[in-house]
Structure 1
Amino acid sequence: MSRLGDLGARLYRGEVGVDFVRRRKIWYCVSILITILAFAGLAVRGLHMGVEFEGGAVFTTPATEVSVEEAREVAEEVSGSQALVQTLGDDGEMRIQVSGLDTDQSNATREALAEELGIATEDLNAEVIGPSWGDQIADKAWRGLVIFLVLVVIYLAIAFEWRMALAALIALVHDITITVGVYAVVGFEVTPGTVIGLLTILGYSLYDTVVVFDGLKEQTREFTRQTRHTYSELANRSLNGTLVRSINTSVVALLPVGALLFIGGGLLGGGMLNDIALSLFVGLTAGAYSSIMIATPLVADLKSREPAIKAQDRKVLAKRAKRDDEDESAAPEDGPLEDDGPYDEEPLGQGSGTPVAAVRGAVGPRAPRRQPPSRGRGRGRPSGKRR
């Protein structure tokens, strides 16, 4: 078995572990700080919405020797609006997005852009997207997100309980907030691919959370019949039992997404696939954090407020304290052992004059027990010898 596999087995058996639940206030503070930064980014910079949401024109150029920076400057000068230029492969094709253009403005921009880039007007493909279509896309995206969250809450409330459903919902909102905040702070463009990626990461984040909740449900099924662990300790044990699996799942999911984002985006250029990979990479990282640091500690907090759970935790702690006191009273006091003198070879109770307790007290590392020789062996025989 590999070291990672051995560590996972030891975590599952409870032999080792990280006390995530006890340190939950640290994780809460980190999440609150990240959330504040995300909202600050949204308030200050806002989201850079793509032409699919704001409306505009998308121009696709044939192979050209014009650089991306030169094409961006030409597009912004001709249209008077901010332009986004992305390369499409290694042959020099480019995709130029200009927001806020109607059909007439798009035609004029197409002619001027073709002239500046030195290509024929008919070779410059143009696609006009109206703002109403973008509004429909945004409305459907919000509607799909709300329906997904409602279904998740209903399912978790039925399969587990409402406290776990609430914790999972908070973790999902946490992941969405962080992802959107990163887009706002860094200035990534929001496209329909971004929306697809956001809806996809919710499933990945929910997967790890449900796995941990299922283990917690099994371990706390007969919680009131045991007096060894509190609810928070069992929650932490369930979390450690699935820790290695959660990390492996997240890493395995991030590797192909990272390849699409960094290798595919760098070699093949931007596009819908790159937008999906970008939102997936940010969301998967946030989802792995929230499923471990937020969801389960939050469930432990909510459950520990129940009167029955609170009473059982007090009973466990009281019995544990009683066992500790009994162990301390039964343990020998530290200090040098007294020397009871040499061991008397007389059998106990046969006139040796040595009390039984004194002889037994001498038994130990300093006075190893020896079997006294029997003085009655060989008596009554003619020769006095053993047979």
Structure 2
Amino acid sequence: MSRLGNIGAKLYRGEVGYDFVAKRMLWYGISILITVVAIAGLGFKGLHMGIEFQGGALFTTPPTSVSVEQAKEDAKAASGGHEAIVQQLGNGSLRIQVGGLDTASATPVTEKLAQDLGVPAEKINTQLVGPSWGQDIADKAWTGLAVFMVLVVIYLAIAFEWRMAVAALIALIHDLTITVGIYALVGFEVTPGTVIGLLTILGYSLYDTVVVFDGLKDGAKDITKQTKYTYSEIANRSLNATLVRSINTTVVALLPVAGLLFIGGGVLGAGMLNDISLSLFVGLAAGAYSSIFIATPLVADLKEREPQMKALKKRILAKRAAEAAKGDAGQGDAGQGADAPEDAVAAAAQGVVSPRPGRGRSTQGKRR
């Protein structure tokens, strides 16, 4: 078995682990900070809506030697001052997007672009998009998102309990907020591909969370009938048992998405790949983070507020305190009968228990 496999087996059996739940206030603080930055980016920079949502024209030119910056200036001048988004495609052609253009103004802009870029006007592919089409997509996306969240809450409340449903919903909103905020900070264009990516990450965001919740449900069965572990400790054990699995699945999912984002979008210049892959990459990473650091600690927080869990925790702490006091008393008795602490440690290491004072002498007397 590999080293990672050995660690995973030890995590599953509870032999090793990291106390994620005990440090939950740290994770909450980090998440709040990231969320505030994302919301600030969304508020100050805003989303860069594509022509599918605001209407406009899309010009695709044949291969040209004109730079992207020069093409932006030419497109802005040709369209009468409208801001243009220019992307260079892999074959040297340019993708020029200008918002706010209608059918009447698109033809003169095409001719002016052809003149400035030094390409034939008939070789420029022009596509016009009305804002109503993009608005229809946005409305359906919001409707789908609302229906999805309602169904998720209902399912989790039935399959597990309402506290897990609340925690999963908060983690989901956390992931969406971070993804949209980073989209605004990066300045990528919001297109139907972005909407597809955002809707896709919803399922991935809940995947690891549901797996941990399933293990937690089994581990917490008849929890009040034992006095060994509190609910938070069982939640942490369940989280550690699936930690390596969550990391492996997340890395495997992120690798192809990273290839789409950095190679397909960055090197080859495929605009649609950028739109989908960025939302998928950020959403997958945020979903893995929230399932480990947000959802499970939040469930433990909510559950520990129950009177039964408070009483259980009180009994467990009292039992541990009594056992610790008994152990200290036993160590005190052993220390009184030992002339040298080093000898007692050496004897214990060899599995030999030193006799109490007097026993050795009486035994020796009998032998004599």
The two structures share one fold, judged by TM-score above 0.5: yes
Query: Structure 2 counterpart of 1:41, which letter?
Result: G
Distance 1:337 1:278, change over 3 A: same
How much has 1:335 moved relative to structure 2? 6.4
Aligned counterpart, 1:320: 320
Query: Structure 1 counterpart of 2:230, which letter?
Result: T
**Residues 42-121 of structure 1 correspond to what in structure 2 (within 5 A)?**
42-79=42-79, 80-89=81-90, 91-121=91-121
Aligned counterpart, 2:280: 280
**Residues 207-286 of structure 1 correspond to what in structure 2 (within 5 A)?**
207-286=207-286
How much has 1:337 moved relative to structure 2? 2.5
Is residue 2:35 matched to residue 1:30? Answer: no
Distance 2:361 2:65 in 1: 97
How much has 1:359 moved relative to structure 2? 3.8
Aligned counterpart, 1:182: 182
Report if aligned partners of 2:35, 2:174 keep a CA contact under 8 Å in 1: yes
List, as ranges, runs of 4+ consecutive aligned residues in structure 1 with deviation greater than 3 Å.
332-336, 359-363
Is residue 2:158 matched to residue 1:167? Answer: no
How much has 1:372 moved relative to structure 2? 5.9
Distance 2:301 2:338 in 1: 49
SS at 1:59's partner residue? strand
SS at 1:41's partner residue? helix
Residues 4-61 of structure 1: per-residue CA shift (max 9 Å, x gap): 1111111111111111101000111111111111111111111111111111111111
Query: Structure 2 counterpart of 1:11, which letter?
Result: L
CA RMSD across the alignment: 2.0
Residues 163-189 of structure 1: per-residue CA shift (max 9 Å, x gap): 101000000000000011111122111
Distance 2:151 2:68 in 1: 44
Distance 2:46 2:303 in 1: 38
Distance 2:185 2:219 in 1: 42
Residues 352-376 of structure 1: per-residue CA shift (max 9 Å, x gap): xxxx97243799xxxxx9x969xxx
Aligned counterpart, 1:377: none
**Where do 5+ consecutive residues of structure 1 fail to align?**
340-355, 364-368, 374-387
SS at 1:227's partner residue? coil
Select between 103-112 and 233-242 the one with higher mean Cα deviation: 103-112
Query: Structure 2 counterpart of 1:4, which letter?
Result: L
Distance 1:361 1:308 in 2: 54
Residues 327-358 of structure 1: per-residue CA shift (max 9 Å, x gap): 1112235468349xxxxxxxxxxxxxxxx972
Query: Structure 1 counterpart of 2:338, which letter?
Result: L
How much has 1:263 moved relative to structure 2? 1.3
Aligned counterpart, 1:136: 136
How much has 1:136 moved relative to structure 2? 0.8
Is residue 2:351 matched to residue 1:337? Answer: no
Report if aligned partners of 2:60, 2:96 keep a CA contact under 8 Å in 1: yes
SS at 1:298's partner residue? helix
Distance 1:270 1:361, change over 3 A: farther
Distance 1:327 1:139, change over 3 A: same
Query: Structure 2 counterpart of 1:322, which letter?
Result: A
**Where do 5+ consecutive residues of structure 2 fail to align?**
341-355
How much has 1:132 moved relative to structure 2? 1.2
Aligned counterpart, 1:145: 145
How much has 1:307 moved relative to structure 2? 1.1
**Residues 303-382 of structure 1 correspond to what in structure 2 (within 5 A)?**
303-331=303-331, 332-334=333-335, 337-338=338-339, 358-360=358-360
Distance 2:89 2:46 in 1: 27
Select between 54-63 and 164-173 the one with higher mean Cα deviation: 54-63
Distance 2:359 2:248 in 1: 61
Q: Identity rate of aligned residues, in percent?
A: 65
Distance 1:146 1:222 in 2: 35
Distance 1:119 1:309, change over 3 A: same
SS at 1:272's partner residue? helix
Query: Structure 1 counterpart of 2:285, which letter?
Result: T
Distance 2:181 2:336 in 1: 63
Distance 1:338 1:258, change over 3 A: closer
Aligned counterpart, 1:12: 12
SS at 1:360's partner residue? helix
Task: Please report the TM-score for the alignment, with normalisation by the length of structure 2.
Answer: 0.91
Distance 1:11 1:46 in 2: 43
SS at 1:58's partner residue? strand
